[in-house]
Amino acid sequence: MIVVEGLRKRYGDVAAVRGVDFEIESGEVFGLVGPNGAGKTSTLKMLAGLVEPSDGSVQVNGLDPGDPEMRKRLGFLPEESPLYEEMTPRSYLEFFADLYDVPDAVADERIGSALDRLDLEVRDRPVGDFSKGMKRKVAIARSLVNDPDVLIYDEPASGLDPLTTNTVVEFTRELATRDKTILFSAHDLYHVESVCDRVAIMHEGQIPALGTLEEIREEHGDLEYRVYADVKVDGMVQEGDRFVTVVESMAEVESIRERAAAQDGSVIDIRTRESSLEDVFLEVTDQAARA
């Protein structure tokens, strides 16, 4: 579990993070999204114990991020994750397992299991010969060698092909079923929408929207009904052999149905469109910028 209260970070005169609060439960995938410069990376680094907060507090499973015991329970995947390219995946991961004092037999099982699930079959060639996607898989496996309770993933699928991306996203969801706490940050909002239980939208160091996707949509999104009828009702336009309009409430849909029936016609189709996370993201950040 992660508990963040009043977290702030300043770099000289620049306030990168300006008082954020959130909690992440065990078994939850929590998304942190925002435009470049929103303060996401600074927040992730403070949670990982790599950057000291200017104010506020962070607890990771009841421990301070700077506590060595916490480091043993954390898996961190930064957006840029250079590897020791002269090493093979196997030797590289064994090296990190040794740093965490993982017994050899346990390390072998964890390394093999992670690489199998990530579909990385090549394990005895230097990492420097690998594609970006293959290197990313090695980096993800590295985050798991100590069997951490908490995982912080910053752009885990950045720049990867669709097949590799799907593997990474599905694997992230599987990790949550093992009761791990996962903080997942990505620019591709489709991935966030598909894998996260709750999302915080960050803008200029603050969090103007936080909740489940349904809660955020209800507060900041739109719900539209595209209504088709076989007769023309006021406000409708012709589309092929039928007529269509877009309304925002079921009351308006019922009104169209009644008016169509008064002309001996009927509503023949209704299509619902909810705001995507991208739509909501743009609306929230635009509102925050204007405020």
Task: Indicate the residue among 172, 191, 218 that finishes a domain.
Answer: 218
* CATH code, domain with 169: 3.40.50.300
Are residue 208 and residue 235 in the same domain, yes or no?
A: no
Query: Is the four-CA dihedral 204, 210, 212, 214 of positive or negative sign?
Result: negative
Q: Are residues 101 and 178 in the same domain?
A: yes
- Answer yes or no: do 136 and 249 share one domain: no
Indicate if 119 and 41 belong to the same structural domain: yes
Shared-domain flag, residues 25 and 81: yes
pLDDT tens for each residue of 231-287: 999 999 999 999 999 988 889 999 999 999 999 999 999 988 877 777 887 888 887
Is residue 259 assigned to a domain? Answer: yes
Query: pTM for the complete prediction?
Result: 0.80
Number of domains forming the structure of the chain: 2
Summarize the confidence of residues 108-123 as an average pLDDT. 91
Same domain (yes/no): 124, 235:
no
Residue whose entry in the numeric block shows the structure tokens 């990790």: 175
Q: In what order do the strands lie in the sheet with 2-11?
A: 14-24, 2-11, 55-60
Residue 154 pLDDT > 80: yes
283 domain-assigned: no
247 & 121 share domain: no
pLDDT tens, 3-33? 999 999 999 999 999 999 999 999 999 999 9
For residue 194, the enclosing domain spans 2-218
Q: Answer whether 260's CB lies under 8 Å from 229's CB.
A: yes
Q: Are residues 237 and 155 in the same domain?
A: no
